[in-house]
Structure 1
Amino acid sequence: MKNKSGQSKTGSKSGQSDMKNEIGQSNTSKERGQEKIKKKIKRSDTMVHTKNFPKQNRKNAKKRPAFSIDTMGNRGKKRKTDAWRKVSYEATNTFVSHKEIRRERELVEDLFGDVDLPEVDAKVKEEEPRSINQLKGDRKKKDADDPYDHHDDRKTAEKKPVWVDEDDDNIRVKDVMANMSKMRGKRGAREVSDERYENMLKEKFELAMGSTPEWAQLDRKIENDSDDEGDFNRRTGNYISSEGPSRLPKSVLEYKMLSDLNRATYAEGAIIKGVEFNPIFQVALVAGFSKTNGSATLFQVDGLHNHKIQTMKFPRFPIKCAKFFRDGRRFVVGSDLYGHFFVYDMEGGKEIKIPWNKSEDRRCMKKFVISPDGELLFFFGSKSLIHIFDTKTLSHIDTLQASEEVTSATFNSSGTRMYTHGNGGDVLTWDINNRQCVQKFYDDGCIDGMSIALSPNNQYLACGSSSGIVNIYDTADLTKDTPLPVKVLDKLVTSVTSLTFNTSSELLAMGSEFKENAFKLVHFPSMTYFTNFPREGTNLARVQVAQFSPNGGYIAAGNNGGTVRLYRLKHYGSY
Structure 2
Amino acid sequence: MKRKLSSINDEESRLSKLLFNKSKDLVDKLKTTPSDEPKPDVDRKPVWIDEDDHQFSAKTKTENLKQKYESLMGTPNWAKLTEPKLEEGNDDDDGILRTVGHMRKSKTFNLPNKMLDMKLLPKINSETRNEGRIISCIDFHPKLSVALVSGNAGIVSLLSVGGDVNEKLHSFQLKNWKTMSAQFNPSGSEAFLATELNHSYCVYDLVKAEPKLVQLPRIVKRPKLFKLSPDGKYIATSTGFDEIYLISTSSKELLRTLKHNSNVESLTFSHDSEQLYCYCKQGEITIWDLSTFRALKKFYDNGCVNASCLAVSPCGKLLATGSQEGIVNIYDTTKLETYEPLPLKTISNLTTKISCLKFNATTEILSASSNVIPDAVKLIHIPSYHVFVNFPPHTKVLSKVQTINFSPNSGYMALGNNKGYANLYRLKYYKNY
Cross-structure match for 1:335? 195
CA distance in 2, matches of 1:439, 1:112: 63
In structure 2, how many angstroms separate the alpha carbons of the residues matched to 1:448 and 1:478? Answer: 20
Q: Which of these residues, 261, 281, 287, is aligned with residue 144 of structure 2?
A: 281
SS state at 1:320 partner: strand
Instruction: Output the CA distance in 2 between the equivalents of 1:484 and 1:105.
Output: 73
> What displacement does 1:381 show?
1.9
Higher RCO, Cα 8 Å, sep 6+: 2
Task: Report the Cα distance in structure 2 between the residues aligned to 1:264 and 1:116, rounded to whole angstroms.
Answer: 66
Distance 2:331 2:231 in 1: 25
Structure 1 counterpart of 2:174: 314
CA-atom RMSD, angstroms? 2.6
Shift of 1:303: 4.0
Superimposed CA distance per residue, residues 297-330 of structure 1 (whole angstroms, 9 cap, x where no aligned partner): 0011124211101111011122222111122111
Kindly state the Cα deviation for residue 113 of structure 1 after the two structures are TM-superposed.
Answer: 4.3
Please state how far the C-alpha of 1:437 moved relative to its aligned partner. 1.4
* In structure 1, C-alpha distance between the alignment counterparts of 2:187 and 2:61, rounded to whole Å: 58
TM-score (norm 1): 0.57
**Contact 1:275 1:546 (8 Å CA) reproduced:** yes
Tell me by how many angstroms 1:537 deviates.
Answer: 1.6
Gaps of 5+ in 2: 1-49, 70-103
- 2:222 is aligned to 363
Q: Which amino acid aligns with 2:130?
A: A
Report the secondary structure of 1:399's partner residue: strand
Equivalents in 2 of 1:420, 1:323: separation in Å? Answer: 19
Structure 2 match to 1:511: 369
Partner of 1:534: 392
Distance in 1, matches of 2:105 and 2:262, equals 48
Q: From the superposition, tell whether residues 112 and 418 of structure 1 become closer, same or farther in structure 2 (CA, over 3 Å).
A: closer
| Counterparts in 2 of 1:497 and 1:304: CA distance versus 1, 3 Å | same
Match of 1:271 in 2: 134
Task: Show the 5 A alignment for 1:241-252.
Answer: 243=106, 246-252=109-115
Q: Quote the residue 1:50 is aligned against.
A: none
Does structure 1 residue 405 correspond to structure 2 residue 263?
Answer: yes
Percent identity, aligned pairs only, is 33
Distance 2:283 2:318 in 1: 18
Residue in 2 that maps onto 1:487: 345
5+ residue gaps, structure 1 = 1-102, 118-132, 135-240
For residues 448 and 105 of structure 1, do their structure 2 counterparts lie closer, same or farther at Cα, with a shift above 3 Å needed? closer
In structure 1, which of residues 544, 552, 565 is the aligned counterpart of residue 410 of structure 2?
A: 552
CA distance in 1, matches of 2:282, 2:122: 40
| TM-aligned CA distance change 1:509 to 1:108, over 3 Å | closer
What are the superposed Cα offsets for residues 46-69 of structure 1, whole Å, 9 maximum, x if unpaired? xxxxxxxxxxxxxxxxxxxxxxxx
Going by fraction, where is strand more abundant, 1 or 2?
2
The answer to whether residue 426 in structure 2 is matched with residue 571 in structure 1 is no
Q: What TM-score comes out, normalization by structure 2 length?
A: 0.75
Alignment: residue pair count: 348
Asked if 1 retains the 8 angstrom alpha-carbon contact of 2:225 and 2:240, the reply is no
Residues in 2 aligned to 1:111 and 1:545: alpha-carbon distance in whole angstroms: 60
For the residue of structure 2 that corresponds to 1:477, the secondary structure is coil
Distance 1:257 1:382 in 2: 37
Check conservation: 1:303, 1:566, Cα contact below 8 A. no
Structure of greater Rg = 1
Q: Supply the distance in 2 between the matched residues of 1:466 and 1:369 (Cα, whole angstroms).
A: 21
**Structure 1 counterpart of 2:47:** none
Equivalent residue, structure 1, for 2:214? 354
Q: Is the contact between residue 317 and residue 334 of structure 2 (CA under 8 Å) also seen in structure 1? A: yes
Whichever residue aligns with residue 408 of structure 1, its letter is: S
Deviation at 1:105? 8.0
Distance 1:544 1:104 in 2: 71
- When residues 302 and 112 of structure 1 are mapped into structure 2, their CA distance, relative to the original with a 3 A threshold, is closer
3-state SS in 1 of match to 2:334: helix
The Cα shift of 1:397 comes to 2.4
Q: 1:109 to 1:357 in 2, by over 3 A?
A: closer
Q: Is the 8 A contact 1:412 1:418 kept in 2?
A: yes
* Separation (CA, whole Å) in 1 of partners of 2:284 and 2:182: 26
Deviation at 1:355, TM superposition (A): 1.5
Q: Is the 8 A contact 1:380 1:407 kept in 2?
A: no
Equivalence map 1:114-263=2 (5 Å): 243=106, 246-263=109-126
1:470 positional shift: 0.5
Q: 1:530 to 1:352 in 2, by over 3 A?
A: same
**Equivalent residue of 2:415, what SS?**
strand
Instruction: Describe the superposition over 1:384-415 as per-residue Cα deviations: whole angstroms up to 9, x where unpaired.
Output: 11111211233322221122222222233222
CA distance in 2, matches of 1:476, 1:271: 37
Q: 1:440 to 1:305 in 2, by over 3 A?
A: same
2:152 aligns to what SS in structure 1?
strand
Query: Do the aligned partners of 1:335 and 1:341 also contact (CA within 8 Å) in 2?
Result: yes
Task: Report the Cα distance in structure 1 between the residues aligned to 2:110 and 2:249, rounded to whole angstroms.
Answer: 37
Report SS of the residue matched to 2:287.
Answer: strand
Which residue number in structure 2 is paired with residue 202 of structure 1?
Answer: none
